[in-house]
A and B are shown apart, each in its own frame.
Chain A
């Protein structure tokens, strides 16, 4: 059974940094692209970032480019999102989501974690 378990969320002051993790199991982690998708309270879904199965290709939404960094450790089956210079507008539940092939050309998200809440507030 595929499982994705996010962690690392919490309350952080504006300007601060946080690193989210997503522990994956039940599939060959390094064979699939992964993404982070966020959802502000009461709002819709916003794609944040994607990374290829090898980790060699990364992509970001304009709203986080230059502040967030996606990475993965295929030996540990873990996806990361390093978030710097956090703003109130980054407050959201952050989901990790699995693509359906190794390339970032197939970002059909067939599995999702339960999400981790990040609150940016003073």
Chain B
């Protein structure tokens, strides 16, 4: 399976800050890369699919970019409701998830 890494593993930011999370795949996953948000006690929620496409209903402050093995997820202006853990996921070769990035409020 394709190993995924994310950095940082956790971060603290203030409301209004720009937050960036990176995800790296051990091998090329083309554009088969998604981002999920998970709040405590809740199921994950798809935010971004195929690198940069915003899922319906997801606020435009969320965005994604990248290609091949290196990907970036950005929250342009952090809101209190964005406090969660974020996971990248590849589906180019079966499925694997990154280890997650926990976003805290400073």
Contacts and interface: CB of A to CB of B under 8 A. Distances in A.
Contacts, number: 55
Nearest to A108: B49
Interface residues of A, number: 22
B95 interface: yes
A115 B46 CA distance: 16
A109 B46 contact: yes
Interface stretch (A9-17, A22-30, A39-47, A68-76): A39-47
Contact of B45 (A62, A112, A115): A112
Interface string B31-55: 0001010100001111001100001
A100 B46 CA distance: 11
Interface string A74-116: 0000000000000000000001000010000111111011110
Contact of B97 (A45, A105, A114): A45
B44 A113 contact: no
Interface of A: 35, 37, 44-47, 50, 59, 61-62, 95, 100, 105-110, 112-115
10 contacts: A45-B89, A45-B97, A45-B100, A47-B96, A47-B97, A109-B34, A109-B36, A109-B46, A109-B89, A110-B55
